Amino acid sequence: MAKIVIIDDETGMLEMMSQLARRMGHETFTYQTGREGLSAINSLRPELAIVDLRIGDMDGLEIIERCGRDHPSMNVVMVTGFASVENAVAAMKLGAFDYLTKPFELDDLQRTINRAISPGTAAAPLLPMIPADADVGHGTVMVGESPQFKEILRLVAKIADNDSPVLLEGEFGSGKHLLARAIHDRSRRRVAPFKVLHCSALPPELLEQELFGGSSGGSTIFTRAQGGTVVVEEIHHLPLHIQSQLNAFLEGLSAKRLRGNLLAAEDVRFIATSSQPLENLLKEGRFREDLFYRISVIPIQVPPLRQRREDIETLSLHFLKNYARVSGLEIDEIDRYALDLLKNYAWPGNVGELQNAIERACTFADGKKVRPADLPPKITQKIEVTDADMAGVRHQLPIGSSLDDYIRKQERIFIRETLKFNEGSREKTASMLGVSIATLYRKMGLKLERDKILQ
């Protein structure tokens, strides 16, 4: 059992971290101000301190600096928000053992505590977590019904224990981070660290520091992920000279793995993500060809939500259930008209936007059901389009609809008007439009029956 001092001015976060550490068998001491926390560290002499970067009365970096000076044998873990990753790297330079970015998963915190208290020893078995609805691996929840989603699940199971690099490409919010986590959690590396480097959040000098340790040869994301998984998110943001360094570094690890002389500190699984197609960047000279082929041994395209609309209802109900449980609300249903609006919206922000929309709807809902009025206005509002070339024909599209949605709508209206002109003859209509009857059916998205067309 170890003594752990936790300093965080958020009551909920403080209690959550303390509760987990106590479940692991440690003695915890919690403080909401930096001065109280430092005083406790000086008197208690704990084995570990967990410090939030943003504390009301002090800067977390100042606390880490003092701890490094006055208590060099004690490890310090920094907790920070995504926007403060740069400061977290600065904390590593001051001597912090590691850092966690909010929101983090409980098993990440547990692994970090295990390693900080007993560095170099095997990690203790993970505590049982709250059961998930659709457990892909060992704690990561992925839900969906679409063929694309099921194919991704099949790939996760197939490649989880393969050490080859993985490249995940897809739009912002499409679920690349969750998929990387699922690969890790399904693998034999699941009890080891899962470390993420956000390339878009750091300047080049700090990216080099995190990846290679810099001139001082300090801690890197690879050494902190020993035995686990390193995820380099938005890798297309890496400057070309760092791409060259990363390619040489990964080439060296691959050669050592093949020779069987890979050091324990170098044994990691590498996953990269990008919201831009890297092959397009190759043609523009913005991404190195050698690095592209090295990191894309196993390429996976993560489709946007608008291309797997079958998943919208399943995801909506999943987010509804989770938010209701966390917030203590008794909301357990989504009105069918609200579901129709959700299904017809284009979701430019993908799964992340859907999650935020459901959280907003739960906040505004009265009773146990989410209704259309509870949804964000951009989902419920529509644009009315009048076609001057077709006798004032009108149709409506939800705000956020894509250009493809508008074109499909226009095609259907034009086909219907042409069918009426041809008195419902599909053959004449197809010939007039210069398409096959099969194409006519597909573009209409329904069975064309003469009596329905002429109504």
Do 100 and 110 touch, CB atoms closer than 8 A?
Answer: no
Angstrom distance (rounded) from CA 23 to CA 372: 42
How far does Cα 259 stand from its chain's mean position?
A: 34
Q: Is the pTM of this model over 0.85?
A: no
Listed in sequence order, the DSSP H helices in 260-349 are 278-283, 289-295, 310-327, 336-344
pLDDT at 131: 30
pLDDT at 398: 55
CATH 3.40.50.970 fits 147-301, yes or no: no
**Would you say residue 82 has pLDDT above 60?**
no
Instruction: Mention the CATH class of domain 382-453.
Output: mainly alpha
Average pLDDT of 401-420? 76
**Would you say residue 284 has pLDDT above 80?**
yes
Q: Which of 305, 334, 304, 335 has its CA nearest to residue 319?
A: 334
Q: How many CA atoms lie within 13 A of 391 on its CB side?
A: 4
**pLDDT single digits (tens) 290-321:** 999 999 999 999 999 999 999 999 999 999 98
Average pLDDT of 424-449? 78
Q: Write the DSSP symbol of residue 404.
A: H
Strand-strand pairing, 75-81 and 98-102: parallel
Dihedral, CA of residue 105, residue 78, residue 233 and residue 249, to nearest 10: -120
Instruction: Mention the CATH class of domain 3-117.
Output: alpha beta
Q: Does this chain's domain 3-117 share its CATH topology with 147-301?
A: yes
Structure tokens at 250: 């990964």
Which overall architecture, per CATH, does domain 306-380 show? Orthogonal Bundle (1.10)
pLDDT at 394: 55
The end-to-end CA distance of the chain, in Å, is 78
Q: Where are the domains of the chain?
A: 3-117, 147-301, 306-380, 382-453
Confidence band for 29, pLDDT divided at 50, 70 and 90:
very high
